[in-house]
Structure 1
Amino acid sequence: MTTRFTALAATASILASVALSPSVTGQDGPLVDPVTANPSGPPAGAGAGPPDTVFDDTWLNIGFGAAYSPSYAGSDDYIINPLPVVQGSIGGVDIAPRPAGLALDFVKDTESGPQIAFGPVFRIRNDRANRIKDPVVELAGELDTAVELGASGAVSISGLTNPFDSLSIGADVRWDVAGAHGGMTIDPSITFSTPVNRGTLVSLSLGATYVSDDFAEYYFSVSPAQAAASGLPQFNAQGGITSLSATTLVGVDLDGNALNGGLNAVLIGGYSRLQGDAAETPFTSIRGSRDQFFVGAGLGYAF
């Protein structure tokens, strides 16, 4: 691939996945550039010519982080979750982390112009399958773990404010194949990323989540049996837009030069507001909050 990858953005993508793990927030959507999670080209100040970098061919960035976020989508109880993630490029196929999953990009980058990404995506969703801190919600019973498969696509352009920034618009579409919620989710997002110097990246992402009726019924409805067990009122949920989110992050290469790989760190924070029946369900409106916050931090190593 001709796009220059940086350790900063790789770690940023990893920590975005940490913060959006289903056991952390229960929400979806990549927080960083859906194409590569990187600004196009080497970091600012890298020089006029294309230097050799650790990201020129096959590379991996191994990261580990922790996030402090709601125990389920709509909860006002917060927990700490660790999550290791791998990102890289092998044999011309880019690997990008997703919340409890990953996406593959089989489209080769071009030397100039918009970059297009497309490939399969999967994630494991264990929202309310474990670690339910609210005792009333716990009485309603644990849910099954979903395995979601689908497709990821995005378009990215660079050079809006400097030669190395990136603006990306994309979406993931997935269906549950494990027989848990049995529905569909769509996660559109728009992300702007830019290096501020040779070793520092900043990024801002806006996202949303749309779910089918089957998904909403499984996670947001309160059945007669659940109502009897928990004391919550019955509720019948329908699909639609379930969340709107904004996330910002700062990535730092620890030796000040993102081109040579090595250790990198990231700080990330975000806010999402639940919408529709995701906000109106008693799991949120009575026992939790539609306002969802998270913070995260972590380290990665690129080679």
Structure 2
Amino acid sequence: MRSRLLFQIAASGSVLFSMPAIAQGATEQSVLDGDNLTVGVGAVYVPSYRGSDDYVLSPVPLVRGRFKGVDINPRVAGVALDFIPDNKESGIGFSLGPVATVSFNRARRVRDEVVRAAGKLDPAIEVGVTAGVTKYRVLHDYDSLTVSADVKWDVNGAYKGMIWSPAVSYMTPLSPALVTTVVVSARHVDDDFARYYYSVTPGQSIASGLPVYGAKGGWDSVNTSVLMAYDLSGDLRDGGFSVFGVANYSRMLNDGKRTPFTSIRGDANQWVVGAGIAYTF
């Protein structure tokens, strides 16, 4: 959705990053009103797996834009499309389209030697649908409130299940150059996902020394994020270079918190911080 910053941190929950349409409802011409593209790169400091208390630095590419009425919204290691153009005059926008991501949770860069001994997991390729509704001009002419959800299924034979992630985000500019987005989200996983990532099988127990554990699906995390973008020319509407930053807190819940991978070897409190630079034209 083009009113939200979109920055989904795969290792610790759903957060979203895209350059917002600051000129929504205004008479000034904006590069974001027509076809446009934003490309960028950043770095995030994230847990080495979901539930870890070890952190790693990871690069994050950014590509978003709009072409022929289709919005291209980034996900970390993925992309989402929105096929429904917004009606600016109505004050309400809708989004609907496909979403696809790749999850490398416990597939690489696991720093904890005990968790690593339990065995490397396969990457998951997640494909599904994203949908949402946005209310423009909530408190003033340039802000927006969005309610949305991603629903995805693993098609690569890793966890072979389904996850869905509802989110509420509020975007407001603080100046022509500076925009802030606050996001509150959660994630629900099914039994297949929970068994794959949170259970400890007898074989994994022998290899790692962790106790055997059988996990079930449910709400596995809640997240809150603050994202900011600053245009280096002083006006987000004219495109060009901008810098962005993100801070995210995620709390593991239920079997995501009780699994030995979190409760013994990790931490239910998960933090993500990151920053980067982008160019819009």
TM-score interval, normalised by the smaller of the two chains:
over 0.9
**Which runs of structure 2 are paired with 1:1-303 in the superposition (5 Å)?**
12-13=5-6, 16-17=7-8, 20=9, 22=10, 25=11, 27-31=12-16, 38=20, 42=23, 50-111=27-88, 112-303=90-281
Q: 1:49/1:293 Cα in 2 relative to 1: closer, same or farther (>3 Å)? A: closer
Is this contact kept in 1: 2:61–2:76, CA < 8 A?
no
Deviations 1:58-93 (A, max 9, x none): 110001000111000000000000021210001211
For structure 1, the 5+ residue unaligned runs are: none
Letter of the structure 1 residue corresponding to residue 85 of structure 2: K
Q: 1:249/1:38 Cα in 2 relative to 1: closer, same or farther (>3 Å)? A: same
For structure 2, the 5+ residue unaligned runs are: none
Deviations 1:101-147 (A, max 9, x none): 11100011113231000000010011000000000000000000110
Is this contact kept in 2: 1:30–1:99, CA < 8 A?
no
Is this contact kept in 2: 1:66–1:81, CA < 8 A?
yes
Letter of the structure 1 residue corresponding to residue 45 of structure 2: Y
Tell me the C-alpha RMSD between the 2 structures. Answer: 1.7
Letter of the structure 2 residue corresponding to residue 200 of structure 1: L
Percent of aligned positions with the same letter in both sequences? 41
Alpha-carbon shift at residue 31 of structure 1 (Å): 3.4
SS of structure 1 residue aligned to 2:87: coil
Alpha-carbon shift at residue 37 of structure 1 (Å): 6.1
SS of structure 2 residue aligned to 1:55: helix
Is this contact kept in 1: 2:160–2:193, CA < 8 A?
yes
Q: 1:85 and 1:251 mapped to 2: Cα distance?
A: 13
Alpha-carbon shift at residue 52 of structure 1 (Å): 2.4
Letter of the structure 2 residue corresponding to residue 136 of structure 1: V
Letter of the structure 2 residue corresponding to residue 170 of structure 1: S
Q: TM-score, normalised by structure 1?
A: 0.89
Alpha-carbon shift at residue 267 of structure 1 (Å): 1.4
Runs of 4 or more, structure 1, over 3 Å off, are none
Deviations 1:25-84 (A, max 9, x none): 2x332435xxx7635x517xxxx9622222222110001000111000000000000021
Q: TM-score, normalised by structure 2?
A: 0.95
Equivalent pairs, count: 280
Alpha-carbon shift at residue 259 of structure 1 (Å): 1.0
Q: 1:59 and 1:246 mapped to 2: Cα distance?
A: 29
Q: 1:106 and 1:199 mapped to 2: Cα distance?
A: 28
Is this contact kept in 1: 2:15–2:225, CA < 8 A?
no
Letter of the structure 1 residue corresponding to residue 20 of structure 2: N
Is this contact kept in 2: 1:31–1:247, CA < 8 A?
no
